[in-house]
A and B are shown apart, each in its own frame.
Chain A
Amino acid sequence: MSVPLIYTAAGIFLFLLGTYGLVAYAHLLRKILAANIMGSGVFMAFIAVAGRTPGAPDPVPHAMVLTGIVVTVAFTSVALALAVRIARTSSRVHLSGRDEEQ
């Protein structure tokens, strides 16, 4: 079992864990956390899968993951702003139609 493979597997599990969290939880902040965890898993798998080259690591996936991280930060900040706005306009912390579930 090689080291990159361990991290690839961990990345895939993080991705699925995040997917579960995104679907199962109603609180918007939790959903955003879950999406971030998903993203981390994807990035980890990306780097690990491409990091098996012998010698110096391949710089291209590193650059791609950097781009991905920035994009995810942008999404996270907009998502948080939306969540705050929803909380302020309707005192809700989740999407409509799920009030009973909290």
Chain B
Amino acid sequence: MDAVLLTHPWSVWTIIVPLAAAVLAFLVPRRAPLAGIITALSVALFVAATAYRIFLAGPHTQMLGGWQAPLGITLRADGPALIMLLTSGLVGLTVSLYATGYFTAADRQQRYFWPLWLLLWAACNALFLSGDLFNLYVTLELVTLSSIALAALNGSPAALDGAMRYLLAGLLGSLSYLLGVALIYGAYGTVDLTLLGQTVRADGLSRAALALMTAGLLLKTALFPLHFWLPPAHASAPPPVSALLSGLVVKAPLLILFRLWFEVFPDTATAGMAHLLGILGCGAIIWGSLMALRQQRLKLLVAYSTVAQIGYFFLLFPLARGEAAATAWVGVFLLVLAHGCSKASMFLVCGTITRLAGHDRLAGLAGAGGTLGARLLVFALAAVTLVGMPPSSGFIAKWLLINAAIVAGQWWYLATIALGTLLASGYVLRVLSLAFTESQSPPLPVAPRILRWPPLALSVVAVLLGLAAFHPAVLTLAGAPVSGIILLEMVP
């Protein structure tokens, strides 16, 4: 039993099963939700098996088609990929469950939601596992195109507009990335990440290629000031889609960035370039949070909160240079997991609230006691992780980042994290306070169970992950390009 568990390429099935299910969902729309649920459960199972294998036997690779790199493509199941797969499994399972209740059978949207979402899921998992620059381009395109289609799903003018912005930004980003790949292939004759990591020279050409690829990926991750396309696309999509876009999709280009900077070009990237990204990250944290504070609609508030949270991920670039590398690395990956769960949960709650109240204007939600108030409490529970209150996983993640900033002696990042946390509590409290104002509105019907439980479960998981953070933390470092001790105590 263990022999099979420890040798079978479980991770491959997290790609194949959703691909096949997407085709089935397209062929037989009536059975699509069933296919979706079965896929969700099996992907969760395969992710667990992958985690088990990595935990016991360490990271492993698979040469697709039996061809060794550089001729073939290599799939790599390592720590960073695993954290991403965990995020994808958790968010995907929850959103799939929620979607069975959110889209009804008579709905035109249901017909297309399932094939599109299952393709997106396969693409995300494929991207997380890919160890090949060009294959990353193809998977990234698959991710982007399915996200665009999902963002346009409800066909409202705002959604179409947001999808178009997303598409154009996505095209610009991926072509810029591809030009970088072209330069790399021209210089080194391979696109395999591991081989490139061994051969890349730190010269002007590598820097040019890195700059092109980074620029393209920044646009796709929507890092401030290239975030213009994100809030319209995320806020006007149907809520399950928003949950996927914010919880899962923005992390896809992010992982490529991490792989590029720390595995392929560790010496090419200068400290200046790293700090530039760090400063843009700070800009994102502050600007996104301020914008979130000003929003009048709940979904836009959450979307701008995503813009802000993306900023935290970019603190890795400056902080992971030096002795605090492992600490920052673990912190950021934990944050990815935490943010994925909490943000998806928040968007799902938004969906339930919109379904109940008929709108998501904050002013109109004032005095939302009763059933809406309960939803807002779930929102608050998810926000515990987002803001980073103990004992949530968000807290551990930020704690690690703060430690890394202190060790690296980069106080301004510390200050930004603190400020960002403050602003985040601000916009979360603004929403929460609605629940405690006098109720004037007539009582609303109770939402169906399937629209209530999944977000609650996900936010509880996000909080509880903080208690079990040690295990994900160790797994994150399996096969990671950084090493060292994780500094859990404040070491100035």
Contact = CB atoms under 8 A, between A and B. Distances in A.
Contacts of B145: 74-75, 78
Interface size class of A (residues with CB under 8 A): 35 or more
A60 B133 CA distance: 13
B149 interface: yes
Given A15-B179, A46-B179, A82-B152, 4 more contacts: A35-B168, A46-B182, A50-B182, A89-B157
Given A71-B141, A89-B157, A42 B182 contact: yes
Contacts of B189: 58
Contacts of A46: 178-179, 181-182, 185-186
Nearest to B133: A64
Contact of B178 (A18, A68, A82, A96): A68
Contacts, number: 91
A28 B189 CA distance: 37
A78 B149 contact: yes
Interface in B163-198: 163-165, 167-168, 171-172, 175, 178-179, 181-183, 185-186, 189
B113 interface: no
B175 A86 contact: no
Task: Give the 6 A-B CB pairs with smallest separation, nearest first.
Answer: A49-B186, A46-B182, A35-B171, A42-B179, A90-B157, A38-B175
Contact of B160 (A22, A41, A71, A82): A82
Nearest to B187: A49
A27 to B, nearest CB: 12
A83 B168 CA distance: 11
If over half of A's interface residues share one DSSP class (helix, strand or loop), that class is named, otherwise mixed; here it is: helix
Contacts of B141: 71, 75
If over half of B's interface residues share one DSSP class (helix, strand or loop), that class is named, otherwise mixed; here it is: helix
A95 interface: yes
B175 A39 contact: yes
A74 B145 CA distance: 9
Contacts of B165: 95
A95 B138 contact: no
A101 B165 CA distance: 17
Nearest to A38: B175
A86 B157 contact: yes
Given A15-B179, A42-B178, A45-B179, A78 B164 contact: no
Interface residues of B, number: 29
Interface string A33-74: 001001101100110011010000010110010011001001
A2 B160 CA distance: 46
B64 to A, nearest CB: 14
B148 A38 contact: no
Contacts of A78: 145, 148-149, 167
B79 to A, nearest CB: 29
B391 interface: no
A52 B185 CA distance: 12
B134 interface: yes
7 contacts: A28-B164, A35-B171, A39-B175, A61-B185, A68-B178, A83-B164, A96-B161
B9 interface: no
A79 interface: yes
A22 B165 CA distance: 11
Contacts of A41: 179
Interface string A11-38: 0100100110010000010010001001
B138 A85 contact: no
B479 interface: no
B216 to A, nearest CB: 11
B175 A67 contact: no
A95 B229 CA distance: 11
Contacts of A39: 171, 175
Taking each of B137, B172, B186, which has the highest tally of chain A beta carbons within 10 Å of its own beta carbon? Answer: B186
Contact of A22 (B137, B152, B163, B172): B172
Given A64-B134, A86-B157, A89-B155, A31 B186 contact: no
A46 B186 CA distance: 8
A75 B179 contact: no
A22 B168 contact: yes
A97 B485 CA distance: 50
Contact of B172 (A28, A38, A45, A58): A38
Contacts of B158: 96
